[in-house]
Amino acid sequence: MHAIAAFEPLPIDDPASLQDVDLPDPTPRPADLLIRVDAVSVNPVDVKKRRGGYGRGVPAGEPRVLGYDGSGTIVGLGDEVEGFEVGDEVWWAGDATRDGSNADLQAVDHRIVARRPASVSATEAASLPLTALTAWEGLFDHLRLNREDAGTLLIVGGAGGVGSILTQIAKRLTGLRVIATASREESASWCRRLGADAVVDHADLVEAVTALAPAGIEYVFSSYTPGNIRAYAKLLKPFGHVVSIDGTGEDLQPLFAKSASMHWEYMFARARWGAWDIAEQGRILATVADMVDAGDIVPTTSQRIGDFSAAGLREAHRLVEGGTMIGKVVVHR
């Protein structure tokens, strides 16, 4: 099969950073689906792994197939698969310890897959799985929120992939007031369009948020944690919560005086460790698909690249690395 692989950490402008290769078709495990990939989106995790972060997981010089979002069609089933048939159109975010979706075919555990929304294209659908799972787990697994919960949620990085879907889920399924951060008018308009109650510039986070919530806030969802812990500590009410998705090594001591809680959200944890509730990810994706079909959530695709090749993926990585992406970039056939 055709695949796009990284062999060593290289700058994205180097043509060798991502290369077109021919690899054997994946052999499904008993619980796997074999999926023909139609579209993928690129996330910061792709960039970090291409650069050599998080551990490469394969020996140096061996191909590493990235890609942690996908939509496609089932072409094969493992012996233990239940609830799916060949021909089903599905979406998934995959397992960071296995080869990803930047290939013609991918083998994925059926428990972390769901049928994709019927009301949108494969390209539109590919923008959502990883970010929707991250947002959902942050709100409901870590913060334990429900429809009756109120308070204020600050989303740092409101126009990014996670922020874009988090705003929508929070506004549909909780009673939270959402304040999003954005540094440009274009990104601020995007946040408002997706349902944010207010948008602030993160250049002076404490002053801007305090003006809107002088008594403090209950929750922070942080895509950019380095350098922000002291600001979060000032803004939080006692017993407040921070959910961080960037695995920062920042000193958390400033949170102590507020008796605040720090949560690490890593969407791949269930699949990586074979969690007892691994199938929860499939259930979340099925629920999100229903919300898309009901019009409660809109896909967050902002750019499309119709070139499913190393060149197309390099361009998508370049956009994500630029740090000014709004929403998601999707690469499709």
Domain end position, chosen among 264, 288, 315: 264
Same structural domain, 292 and 256: no
Q: Is residue 119 domain-resident?
A: yes
Which of the two residues, 171 and 247, has the higher pLDDT score?
A: 171
Span 92-126, pLDDT tens digits? 999 999 999 999 999 999 999 999 999 999 999 99
Alpha-carbon distance 45 to 67, whole Å? 9
Q: What is the enclosing helix (H) or strand (E) of 286?
A: helix 280-293
Same structural domain, 257 and 279: no
Nearest to 196 by CA among 150, 239, 149, 163: 163
Check which CATH number belongs to the domain holding 235 and give it: 3.40.50.720
- Give yes or no for residue 59 having a pLDDT over 80: no
Q: How many domains does the chain have?
A: 2
DSSP string for residues in 153-193: EEEETTTSHHHHHHHHHHHHHS--EEEEE-SSHHHHHHHHH
Check which CATH number belongs to the domain holding 90 and give it: 3.90.180.10
Instruction: Show the domain range for 106.
Output: 2-128+274-332
Numbers of helices and strands, H then E, in the chain:
10, 16
Q: Is residue 269 domain-resident?
A: no
- Give yes or no for residue 56 having a pLDDT over 50: no
Alpha-carbon distance 131 to 138, whole Å? 10
Same structural domain, 217 and 322: no
Q: Is 65 within 8 Å of 100 (Cβ atoms)?
A: yes
Q: Is residue 315 domain-resident?
A: yes
Q: Model pTM?
A: 0.96
Same structural domain, 285 and 247: no
- The predicted pLDDT at position 54 comes to 55
Same structural domain, 175 and 156: yes
